[in-house]
Amino acid sequence: MCTTCGCGRPGDEPEAGDHGHDHGREGKRPGEHSHDDALHGIVRVEQALLAENDRHAAYVRGFFAGMGIRSFNLISAPGSGKTTLLERTLSALLARGRKCSVVEGDQQTDLDARRIATTGAPVRQIQTGKACHLDAHQIRHALEHLSPERGSLVFVENVGNLICPTEFDLGESERVVLLSVTEGTDKPAKYPLAFRTATSVVLCKTDLLPHVDFDVEESLRLIRGLNPGAHLFLLSARTGEGMEPWLRWVAGDGGGTPARP
């Protein structure tokens, strides 16, 4: 977890009386700092943050289960095409009569939320400020405003980041990691936890393959090595190529290729 998680909130430092400093203990001069103790203090704070998040995630998961809602946490690096894919997905599903709503996460602006709103789907914006991820407490509050319908689909577009969002369970049914062909073949190797914890991986912007140096087979090999059970989708939201299997999977009607070797 990055050093800003608790993400700028009070509480990202050890509690009063537990500074991670070791004053006057055996083998240390008064006022001498222990880096090991400081690290342990940070670890304790991080563990407390994740435990609190997991408590809210359990509530959100129970809410979704009780309402028969299928939910999706979309995670990717900035510029991978999450919003475009979400726009096309919502437009297609709404046209087929599916009820959908969206939680939009960004550090600043409501630009993506305004794009999503043009599809007709209800959307709730969360501006995270310095925070590099959404957390389950924020999702819990967003759902109170959205009031999603029973049996509907809820999409969470997380902050663009392949590290911190991976650490935080949002109570989602499905975790979707996007990898754009413009990002580089080796992203799964560089960010293994994101791909290992995904229930599906979308290789997107495939219409750009003729123009970039991206090895599809090598990237799929890396993904399969990390997560043989994930569903894989190769698609272009811009051209629509490969979208139908993705839409069937999202709707719960099958689709996708298990990432088995």
Three-class SS of the chain: CCCCCCCCCCCCCCCCCCCCCCCCCCCCCCCCCCHHHHHHHHHHHHHHHHHHHHHHHHHHHHHHHHHCCEEEEEECCCCCCHHHHHHHHHHHHHHCCCCEEEEEEECCCCHHHHHHHCCCCCEEEEECCCCCCCCHHHHHHHHHHHCCCCCCEEEEECCCCCCHHHHCCCCCCEEEEEEECCCCCCHHHHCHHHHHCCCEEEEECHHHHHHCCCCHHHHHHHHHHHCCCCEEEECCCCCCCCHHHHHHHHCCCCCCEECCC
pLDDT band of 39, cuts 50, 70, 90: low
Fold of 69-258: Rossmann fold (3.40.50)
Can you give the residue ranges of every domain in the chain? 69-258
1-15, 162-176, 198-212, range with the lowest pLDDT: 1-15
- What is the mean pLDDT of the segment spanning 156-170? 95
Higher pLDDT residue, 50 or 142?
Answer: 142
pTM above 0.85, yes or no: no
